[in-house]
Structure 1
Amino acid sequence: MSDDNETIRQGAPTRRDYVKYGGAVVGGGLLAGCTGDSGGDGSETDNSTANESSTDESDEPEDTSYSVTMAPAGEVTFDSVPERWVPYSAGYADAGIALGQSDGMVGIGQTAEYYTHFYEELPGVSVDRESLTELVPNEMSKELFYELDSDVHFIDTEMLKAWFDWDQADVDEIRENVAPFLGNLGYRRSDDWHDYRYYTLYETFEKLAEAFDERDRYEAFEAFHDEFIADVQTRLPPADERPNVLLTFELNDEPEAFSPYRLNDKGTNKKQWRDLGVSDALAGTDIENLSTTERTKLDYEGLLDVNPDVLLIRGHERKSPAEFRETVLAYMRDHSVGSELTAVQNERVYRGGPLKQGPIQNLFLTERGAKQLYPDVFGEVTGDEQLFDRQRVADIINGDI
């Protein structure tokens, strides 16, 4: 925070001060007021005047608090717009950047999962990813939450309890002593512990906009997105001419086993594929979707049984399209069984996109996906053709709406 903000915090109790000291802050203030009043001559007139002044409604501070409601946290009240914030997911980080909040982000779940290279194409938009404190490598330590001293944590508390051995007492402690939680893990919808409402990517984006009081910026971004998607969809070939797609995960440059995803899972990580109208190559099979508990992997024989038109492989986001072709695809072309795949023979094996995405990243991933699936319509994925206006996106992020 700036020096000015620090001065304000010292001069008047903040919400966090009230949490830390409870009624003592309020009580101390009232006692101080009484002591000050006794400094007069003690006349009834002076006391009456002081009392009238102290209860005059015009002297009471304006209530600027507001609330945001999101499962599983429920209703969360903010006394003022958050300045310091911490997301768990890269998708929440990206949404905050889209709302012009880059300066206030102080931490993230894992920087390795936060792909910021997209911002390089947006004039005046940047994030210093390396300056962010990571939560996951530090085992989501409660001490770290105290050190970061954020105004809001965009983190699903049920995820904390399911994956990081927190309990409700831990959640309550950080919420009461540091800042509230507001978040819903929705990048996939296949975890048994998630038995409450999910949100779409733009529903989540809107909740962050409410928290940051950035309704105008959100609506401008949403309108741009809707126009972009509508334009792409009007250019798609008929449904019976579209390829079927198998989305998988495998980090290795010489892959031998592939973790499958089902495209009918409505998680935010698959938004671009739904918008692009593809069919799932796993439809009609008994192959399960990757989740916390389901870790099925397909070898090349298993892939050949499905034999998709297009194979998408996640885990290679830091490669360029050319680098991916020169490593992963090249290996598969030389593989005794992999080379029999239709997608390999037609060189239709591509990067599958990150697991966690926000509204800015989704624009780029939709553009990339359109080129991967329909190169005859949108251009080759290795080409430079742009399907949306980068400058307009940057303008919205920078406040020119």
Structure 2
Amino acid sequence: MTGDDTGTTAAPTRETPTRRALLGAGATAGAGLLAGCTDSLVGTGGSGDPTASPTDSSYTVSMAPVGQVAFDAVPEDVMVYSLLYADMAVAFGHGDAVNSLGFDAAAGGNTLDAYYERLPGVSFEYEDLTQLNSGSGDIRVDQELLYELDSDLHLADPCLFRSFDGWGAADIEAIREQVGPWFGNVYSRNHGQPPEGCREGYEYYTLPELAGRVGAVFRESERAAALQSVREDLLATIEDGLPPEDERPTVGAVIFSQGTFYPSNINSTGFANAHVRPLGAVDAFDDVDYDTTYGYEGLLEIDPDVILHQFGIASYYDVGSIRETVANDEVGAELAAIRNDRFYPSGTPTQGPLMNLFQLEMTAKQLYPEQFGAWPGYEAGAPYPELPEGERLFDRERVASIVRGEP
């Protein structure tokens, strides 16, 4: 067999059959990944208890689409594509195992640093990370780069890589057999549809469910549970403070570029909304087509009480500058969110557990300042604002001590 069902040529055969003896066979439930060359990335055992421990030294962790993955040791050299999993690695005390990121490591690293600045003793060294994507408009990841990285673990969704140009089932399997296993699930972000060959049996997980499984990979289930406890306390605080539904604002989540607003749903399922959905706000775009874009006039017809601009914290957009651009437009100046100074930088949808805590707190303050305290404002590229202790919605030191592995 030289390719998969799309006709993609498989990776060249290498003499070394499996490069990491310490990580065992990789995917036990998905051992026949190339059978039939279709639907090859969907394992069994995606739901239920994610972990099992056959011996004192070996263990397995399960998650769709890879099924059960066997480990003989905790991975020490890990390929990561998304900030979601980089944040998890740091949260569970294994940030130094990360060797790569999908896009500009400095951009992603700055985003993480913006939040970690408020967690004493927590940091992420990203200067020497390899950038996996070499494309500008299109995503291009060279398969050979994964062989060069020689990672213990590919902490990424193989179905995502299956969607990249030049990648097929045979290539995914070759990486698994000759380099190291895959472990990741990214289409849970918005419950999107994986590429053909990956759809049957694909499962969607909440952010805590994903974090629990990745915590088990690093043998840090107690740390994952402790962080989830902090999140549950924060959610309880938010729930207790929410105003009645008829007093909640209409909210529009957007990305603005060259005079055009691109909307997204704030209450849909998926971990992309894990920082907004719990706030129970009214989606200003609820009755419109999310595939539609808006100019100034179109957005003014909807006129959200609050506008949240995504990727606004030490990420790709200077929301303060964008707000000025919108305010300087004759029609844009009429928007309620501009007139009432409620055009805010919002979080990054590809959020892990640490990012999510800050982004929940931020959104609560932006939407309900009377209940949770006013959002203090934000300068592009700066760290997450330093809030007075009495205005914080979760305990920074408690979180930092969990990440540092202290009792």
Question: TM-score, normalization: structure 2?
Answer: 0.77
1:215-251 residue CA offsets vs partner (Å, 9 max, x unmatched):
111111111111111112211111111111111113x
| Corresponding residue for residue 229 of structure 2 | 223
**Is 1:187 aligned to 2:189, yes or no?**
yes
| Corresponding residue for residue 169 of structure 1 | 170
Distance, in Å, in 2 between the alignment partners of 1:98 and 1:159 is 23
Task: Quote how far apart the aligned CAs of 1:78 are.
Answer: 0.9
| Corresponding residue for residue 85 of structure 1 | 78
| Corresponding residue for residue 142 of structure 1 | 143
Task: Quote how far apart the aligned CAs of 1:153 are.
Answer: 0.8
Q: Which has the larger radius of gyration?
A: 1
Structure 1: gaps of 5 or more residues: 1-12, 20-61, 290-295
Q: Which of 127, 130, 133 is the equivalent residue of 1:133?
A: 130
Name the one with the larger helix percent: 1
Q: Which of 263, 277, 280 is the equivalent residue of 2:280?
A: 277
| Amino acid in the other structure paired with 2:342 | R
Distance, in Å, in 2 between the alignment partners of 1:18 and 1:209 is 19
Task: Quote how far apart the aligned CAs of 1:80 are.
Answer: 1.4
| Corresponding residue for residue 327 of structure 2 | 333
| Corresponding residue for residue 313 of structure 2 | 317
* Count of aligned residue pairs for this structure pair: 336
Q: Which of 54, 63, 67 is the equivalent residue of 1:70?
A: 63
Distance, in Å, in 2 between the alignment partners of 1:318 and 1:102 is 19
| Corresponding residue for residue 362 of structure 1 | 356
Distance, in Å, in 2 between the alignment partners of 1:248 and 1:153 is 32
Q: 8 Å contact 1:329–1:347 — kept in the other structure?
A: no
| Amino acid in the other structure paired with 1:350 | Y
Task: Quote how far apart the aligned CAs of 1:81 are.
Answer: 1.3
Query: What RMSD over aligned residues (CA atoms) do the two structures have, in Å?
Result: 2.4
Distance, in Å, in 1 between the alignment partners of 2:56 and 2:399 is 34
| Amino acid in the other structure paired with 1:97 | V
Q: Which of 382, 391, 405 is the equivalent residue of 1:399?
A: 405
| Corresponding residue for residue 247 of structure 1 | 253
| Corresponding residue for residue 205 of structure 1 | 211
| Corresponding residue for residue 266 of structure 1 | 269
Task: Quote how far apart the aligned CAs of 1:64 are.
Answer: 2.2
**Is 1:123 aligned to 2:126, yes or no?**
no
Distance, in Å, in 2 between the alignment partners of 1:288 and 1:320 is 21
1:239-285 residue CA offsets vs partner (Å, 9 max, x unmatched):
111111111113x4xx5101111123212111111111112111122
Task: Quote how far apart the aligned CAs of 1:188 are.
Answer: 2.2
Task: Quote how far apart the aligned CAs of 1:93 are.
Answer: 0.7
Q: 8 Å contact 2:155–2:184 — kept in the other structure?
A: yes
Over the matched positions of the two proteins, sequence identity in percent amounts to: 38
1:187-207 residue CA offsets vs partner (Å, 9 max, x unmatched):
222346374211111111011
Report the 3-state secondary structure (helix = DSSP H, G, I; strand = E; otherwise coil) of the residue aligned with 2:57.
Answer: coil
Q: 8 Å contact 2:24–2:70 — kept in the other structure?
A: no
Report the 3-state secondary structure (helix = DSSP H, G, I; strand = E; otherwise coil) of the residue aligned with 1:258.
Answer: strand
Q: 1:227 to 1:237 in 2, by over 3 A?
A: same
| Amino acid in the other structure paired with 1:351 | P
Q: 1:182 to 1:277 in 2, by over 3 A?
A: same
Report the 3-state secondary structure (helix = DSSP H, G, I; strand = E; otherwise coil) of the residue aligned with 2:68.
Answer: strand
Distance, in Å, in 2 between the alignment partners of 1:269 and 1:332 is 25
Report the 3-state secondary structure (helix = DSSP H, G, I; strand = E; otherwise coil) of the residue aligned with 2:308.
Answer: strand
| Corresponding residue for residue 299 of structure 1 | 295
Distance, in Å, in 1 between the alignment partners of 2:334 and 2:246 is 24
| Amino acid in the other structure paired with 1:367 | E
Q: 1:337 to 1:171 in 2, by over 3 A?
A: same
Distance, in Å, in 2 between the alignment partners of 1:129 and 1:14 is 24
Task: Quote how far apart the aligned CAs of 1:164 are.
Answer: 3.7
Question: TM-score, normalization: structure 1?
Answer: 0.78
Moved more, 361-370 or 108-117: 108-117
Distance, in Å, in 2 between the alignment partners of 1:164 and 1:391 is 44
Task: Quote how far apart the aligned CAs of 1:375 are.
Answer: 1.3
Task: Quote how far apart the aligned CAs of 1:63 are.
Answer: 6.2
Q: 8 Å contact 1:155–1:182 — kept in the other structure?
A: yes
Distance, in Å, in 2 between the alignment partners of 1:18 and 1:389 is 39
- Kindly report which structure 2 residues correspond to 1:143-158, keeping only aligned pairs within 5 A, or say none: 143-158=144-159
